[in-house]
Structure 1
């Protein structure tokens, strides 16, 4: 994954950390594709739904036909019945995995993975009842933050765990997108101040850009 793709922030040197949620998503997507079924990842904004789907699908692209259908204006998105349609054969491998896209059917031999679609799907009981796996993504717990964030970006690699906990409590709240934004501002602060590492004074400057 390129840095520019991470949670809508240009963040050089960011890494995708294999969290328990990402490992679970990988297993769930594998099982959904094998069953030629539908799956929905859902959770709060910035919890890593689309990231998890994209990472897991990228691993499958070498041997499967992966299609992505994305609705940019989500508040005005069409009802699920209007976009869950058979995909048609592509002449490549048998399983077609799509994000917010195709409907599994015997003729297309496809599976569908939907991120951010739980509310839309649940409006239509006929579709909701066909979801093979629902996965709910949540915030990182405080202990997960301390395990994950030092691996996420070099600015946190040698940071004091107390400062990471302070940053999470004050600004990031276990939210990956918030951590990406905070990390970008922290990088700027390190460059401008000449501080050798993250400390609470520097973090307060970064917080001032988030309030």
Structure 2
């Protein structure tokens, strides 16, 4: 019988079966892309820092032990970029885990967290019946290893952390969690007593030291490859303060000045660059 000759009831039944099949078999999500540099900075290179290896080992540990990692650091030090870089390589056994990324909306609730998880896992969002949704979600989490990365997790309140604990403590769940927070967000995590006994790895991302700046920044961008070490030290002391995001901003503005300069002079001590950075980079909180 041709599709056109089917009765409406038969067509509706066939359509329902297709929808149920799609709900049971979520489409494969693409692998994480190579992370992009801040401001899409042209010519920037990814420079693996020593703590990248600690991050890779930590991911391997929490996936194998089904534990929680707390990744903290000041804004702009490169937490998310480093995590994306390491996840793109997918160390074993994290390579086998299904990656789930969440960025909670402002003032999240368990209901919004359910909705975000439904979108991330391609689940049918039966949010009108939280019990049915939770049962389906727990079934998915039990089917294979999952690595749940929650960026800006300091936005979560106590009820959201309790919901994560509920999922994490399911004896059948194959779930590891990475909680990424800013420096001031550590206080939020410390108030969550449920995390203390479940955290397998706690890693704080450091700022670049002056020695790191001299070693890393010339490898970060060709603009600084031949720069004088003292010039890099002055830039870092006055504006960047070991913060990778601020170095990307300074590089962006230096390149912009070069495009309009009549001669390519050494940029670091150039008064024009200092004026531009003074006007565009906000004073660092440590100053």
TM-score range, shorter chain: 0.7 to 0.9
Tell me the equivalent position of 1:100: 150
Distance 1:124 1:166, change over 3 A: same
1:182/1:206 contact within 8 Å kept? no
Distance 1:200 1:65, change over 3 A: same
CA drift at 1:78: 5.1
Asked whether 1:122 is paired with 2:190, we answer yes
Tell me the equivalent position of 2:58: 28
CA distance in 2 between partners of 1:156 and 1:136 (Å)? 27
CA distance in 2 between partners of 1:195 and 1:41 (Å)? 44
> TM-score by structure 1 length?
0.83
User: Out of 153, 166, 174, which is 1:109 matched to?
Assistant: 174
CA drift at 1:77: 4.7
> TM-score by structure 2 length?
0.63
CA drift at 1:145: 0.8
In terms of mean alpha carbon deviation, does 200-209 or 129-138 score higher?
200-209
Tell me the equivalent position of 2:273: 203
**How many equivalent pairs are there?**
204
- Which structure shows the higher helix fraction? 2
Q: Which residues of 2 match residues 1-211 of structure 1 at below 5 A?
A: 5-7=36-38, 9-60=39-90, 63-73=96-106, 76-77=107-108, 88-89=139-140, 94-100=144-150, 103-104=167-168, 105-116=170-181, 118-196=186-264, 197-201=266-270, 203-208=273-278, 209-211=280-282
Q: Residues 56-110 of structure 1, C-alpha deviation per residue, up to 9 Å, x if partnerless?
A: 222228643111011253xx3558xx78997642798x32112118654442312
CA drift at 1:20: 1.2
> Unaligned regions of 5+ residues in structure 2, if any?
1-32, 118-133, 152-163, 283-287
The structure with the largest alpha-carbon Rg is: 2
Hey, which bits of structure 1, 4+ residues long, moved more than 6 A?
Answer: 82-86
Look up the SS of the partner of 1:200 in the other structure.
Answer: coil
> Unaligned regions of 5+ residues in structure 1, if any?
none
CA drift at 1:118: 3.2
